[in-house]
């Protein structure tokens, strides 16, 4: 990914609480991927197929997560997971003309189970070097 940056500095172990030097995604990088998610789910794209939008979002999230896979990334992943579901729910409510917030019609399980939206949080648990 072009122009992506990591922040290098003091990180804290969630298990022991000890400090260590490490890298994590910078705020600017998280903001950039949020802007791209916002553009993918803009209201003007309401005529596109839902499967196409989810496929584009999955490609974007997997690529970004593949670039930032080392270090303490779970807080950034949590931010992106929440934002993606909230934004996609808003897009679906606009597309299907649902007047409410859409939590009843489009629960979180709908996005991951039925539409196949990727979750970033479990990706850190499947990395072999993250278990050491």
Q: What is the pLDDT of residues 47-80, one digit of tens each?
A: 999 999 999 999 999 999 988 887 788 889 999 9
Residues 6+ apart with CB under 8 A from 97: none
pTM for this prediction:
0.83
Q: What is the pLDDT of residue 128?
A: 52
Q: Does residue 124 surpass a pLDDT of 70?
A: no
For residues 86 and 130, what is the distance between their CA atoms, to the nearest angstrom? 28
The model's pLDDT over 86-118, given as tens digits with 9 standing for 90+, comes to: 999 999 999 999 988 899 999 999 999 999 999
Q: What is the pLDDT of residue 58?
A: 97
């Amino acid at each position: 990914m072009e122009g992506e940056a990591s922040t290098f500095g003091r990180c804290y172990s969630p298990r022991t609480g000890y400090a260590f030097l490490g890298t994590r995604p910078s705020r600017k990088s998280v903001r950039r991927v949020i802007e791209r998610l916002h553009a993918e789910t803009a209201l003007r794209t309401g005529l596109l197929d839902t499967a196409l939008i989810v496929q584009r979002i999955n490609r974007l999230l997997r690529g970004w997560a593949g670039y930032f896979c080392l270090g303490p990334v779970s807080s950034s992943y949590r931010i992106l997971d929440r934002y993606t579901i909230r934004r996609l729910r808003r897009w679906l409510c606009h597309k299907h003309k649902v007047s409410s917030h859409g939590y009843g019609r489009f629960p979180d399980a709908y996005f991951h189970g039925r539409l196949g939206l990727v979750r970033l949080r479990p990706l850190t648990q499947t990395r072999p070097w993250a278990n050491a």
